[in-house]
C-alpha cells in the first residue's frame, strides 16, 4: 500500500487529485490529499467474495439479486466522485459502472454486525458487503467526505491478480512483474 502510494505521488498518477489506496486482504484504507499527504487511515469492509472482477450487468441488479460469487470489490484504478444513487441518495462512487461506492457502515442488517467487524483487530471478518466499501461513520464524515468533495482517484489492490496486471504503470516504474502485495 505504502509503495503504491509513493509511486502515485512520485509519478503524479493522481494528477493532483486526492486519492485512496485500499487493500482488501488487509481490510485497510489510506486516504491522501492531492498534495500526497496522508489524511487518514482506517479499517474497511469489502465485498464478501474474493476476486477482482466486476460481473457484467451487476450495476443493474438489486442487492438481493447479486449472486454470492459476484459480490466482489473490483481491483484497479478508478476515477470517481460524488453523485446520485437510485436507492441511497448522494454517494461517493468509486466506480459508477460497477456500482461500487464508499459509504458509512449501515446498521440495517444486525446479523451482519458491520460496526463490530470494523472494530475487530483481524481483517478476516471484513468481507461482508455486496461489493461496496464501508468505513465507520466518523471516518467517512471527518476524512472521506471532505477529502473527496470534488472527486478523486481510487486504487484497489487485487485479491488474485498480480500487481503488474492490475497496475502496469506502477510495475513498470518499479521494474518488476512479480506479484508483490
What CATH number does the domain containing 40 carry? 2.40.440.10
Would 96 be classed as within a structural domain?
yes
CA–CA gap between residue 29 and residue 100 (Å, rounded): 15
Mean pLDDT, consecutive 10-residue stretches, the chain (181 aa), reads 94 96 97 97 92 70 62 91 80 89 81 89 90 93 97 96 93 61 47
CA–CA gap between residue 109 and residue 17 (Å, rounded): 34
Would 52 be classed as within a structural domain?
yes
Task: Tally the domains of the chain.
Answer: 1
CA–CA gap between residue 146 and residue 139 (Å, rounded): 10
Which of 95, 41, 40 has the alpha carbon at shortest distance from 72? 95
Would 168 be classed as within a structural domain?
yes
The answer to whether 105 and 115 are in contact (CB under 8 A) is yes
Q: Which residues contact 102 (CB under 8 A, 6 or more apart)?
A: 20, 91, 92, 94, 132, 133, 134, 135, 140, 144, 154
CA–CA gap between residue 121 and residue 41 (Å, rounded): 14
Structural domain that includes position 41: 2-174
The answer to whether 52 and 166 are in contact (CB under 8 A) is yes
- Per-residue pLDDT, 167: 94
Would 180 be classed as within a structural domain?
no
Would 100 be classed as within a structural domain?
yes
Would 8 be classed as within a structural domain?
yes
Would 34 be classed as within a structural domain?
yes
Would 139 be classed as within a structural domain?
yes
Amino acid at each position: 500500500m505504502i509503495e503504491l502510494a509513493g509511486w502515485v505521488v512520485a509519478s503524479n498518477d493522481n494528477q493532483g487529485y486526492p486519492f485512496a489506496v485500499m487493500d482488501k486482504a488487509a481490510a485497510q484504507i489510506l486516504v491522501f490529499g492531492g498534495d500526497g499527504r496522508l489524511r487518514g487511515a482506517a479499517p474497511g469492509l469489502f465485498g464478501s467474495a474474493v476476486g477482482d472482477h466486476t460481473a457484467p450487468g451487476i450495476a443493474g441488479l438489486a442487492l438481493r439479486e447479486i449472486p454470492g460469487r459476484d459480490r466482489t470489490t473490483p481491483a484497479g484504478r478508478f476515477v470517481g466522485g460524488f453523485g446520485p444513487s437510485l436507492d441511497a441518495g448522494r454517494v461517493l462512487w468509486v466506480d459508477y459502472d460497477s456500482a461500487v461506492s464508499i459509504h458509512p457502515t449501515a446498521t440495517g442488517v444486525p446479523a451482519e454486525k458491520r460496526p463490530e467487524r470494523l472494530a475487530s483487530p483481524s481483517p478476516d471478518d471484513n468481507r461482508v458487503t455486496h461489493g461496496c466499501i464501508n468505513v465507520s461513520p466518523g471516518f467517512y464524515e471527518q476524512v472521506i467526505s471532505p477529502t473527496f468533495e470534488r472527486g478523486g482517484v481510487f486504487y484497489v489492490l487485487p485479491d488474485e491478480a498480480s500487481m503488474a496486471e492490475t497496475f502496469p504503470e506502477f510495475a513498470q516504474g518499479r521494474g518488476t512483474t512479480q506479484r508483490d502485495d
